Copies of this chain bind each other. A is one copy, B any other.
Amino acid sequence: MSQNKAKARITMQELADIAGVTRGTISRALSDSPRVNEKTKTRIRELAKEYNYHVNQRARNFRLQKTGVISVVFMLNIKSEQHMSDPFFLEMLGGIADCLAEHDLDLFLSHAPIANILELQDSRVFQNSDGVIFVGQGEQHSELNALANSDTPMVVWGAEMPDQSYCRVGGDNAAGGYIATNHLLELGRRHIAFFGDVNLPEIALRFSGYKKALKEHGVKFDPRLQIEVPFEMERARDAIEELLGSRTKFDAAVCSSDVMALSAIATINESGLRVPADIAIVGYDDIGLARYSSPTLTTVRQNIRWAGRVLVESLLSLLNGQTVADTTLSSELIVRQSSGAVAAKKT
């Protein structure tokens, strides 16, 4: 490995002195401006390599008033105990990161003060990036609306809201809730629970789809079967155990996430009941694990990775000053073992 002449970082001025030109020429040479002679460019590029010169990004960002960074904020719901390590978020993050990489943008992941996202305005989330992607709305729809009026472009993954002034990308939650429930009804289940926090906009829409399906099948909605199950596995388990221990009987459940569904399956198994024989389960999202769990998970697919791409592309359009319409991605039911529709292979 060849030793670099200068180990310490040198400045553009120093390189200019070495090359016998001015900073301006160095800057233009390195950014391949047509105003610099081709020979000069090559010479400067070689000198830069030789002296181990790198453009100081901090100075550059400052000068250009931009960063090349996109912030991502996961609106983890505190009450629902949602974690960053939720596979849904992670897959979304993967889609976002991949797409950003293609556009040569970097990703800034914030430890958001979820309590009040307006505080983000002072933080690096807004100041250190060219745009912000919010994943989820939490219960801060109006705050998001307020932020949308700041000068940093943003897009939001979530549910369609009546008075929303930000650009939204999301799944078709009402349809998702409907097809999940409908599937269970068609399998003959009649006591179908709904697991999730209906205070969250997306879940509320799915819940409406759930009720619509029940109604169409002439099944009366039983409020005791709507349980505010947290997203976090351990806590979900507690909530489900409580339901299992109660006198309320059910033969199926529509869950708000696949993780919740997996937790439900484990809890139900431990209680001595069987999935799907005694209780059929439908998840939501179709995370990677859904098809590898035992039993495999029937679920409402959201193409999460693609959603990440759509979020990024929408944001980039906004950055270019274009107006961007909302996007609703279609929902699709993936039928696997946990809902009892497919015979288990082993038996």
Contact = CB atoms under 8 A, between A and B. Distances in A.
Interface of A: 1, 8-9, 54, 56-59, 61-62, 65, 67-69, 83-85, 87, 90-91, 93-94, 97-98, 100-101, 106-111, 121-125, 127-128, 146, 151, 233, 237, 262-263, 265-266, 269-270, 272, 274, 288-289, 292-296, 345-346
Contact of A293 (B57, B65, B272, B293): B293
Given A262-B289, A266-B292, A1 B146 contact: yes
B111 A106 contact: yes
A58 B54 contact: no
A124 B100 CA distance: 14
A65 B54 contact: no
Contact of A94 (B85, B98, B151): B85
A54 B127 contact: yes
Contacts of A110: 106-107
A158 to B, nearest CB: 21
A146 B151 CA distance: 41
B68 A124 contact: yes
Contacts of A57: 124, 127-128
Contacts of A93: 84-85, 109
A97 B111 contact: yes
14 contacts: A54-B122, A58-B128, A85-B90, A85-B94, A85-B288, A98-B111, A106-B110, A107-B111, A108-B108, A263-B292, A270-B346, A274-B346, A293-B294, A294-B295
B292 A262 contact: yes
Contacts of A109: 93, 97, 106-109
Given A56-B127, A293-B293, 15 more contacts: A1-B146, A8-B151, A58-B128, A61-B62, A67-B128, A84-B94, A85-B90, A85-B93, A90-B90, A106-B111, A107-B108, A233-B292, A262-B293, A265-B294, A269-B345
B84 A87 contact: no
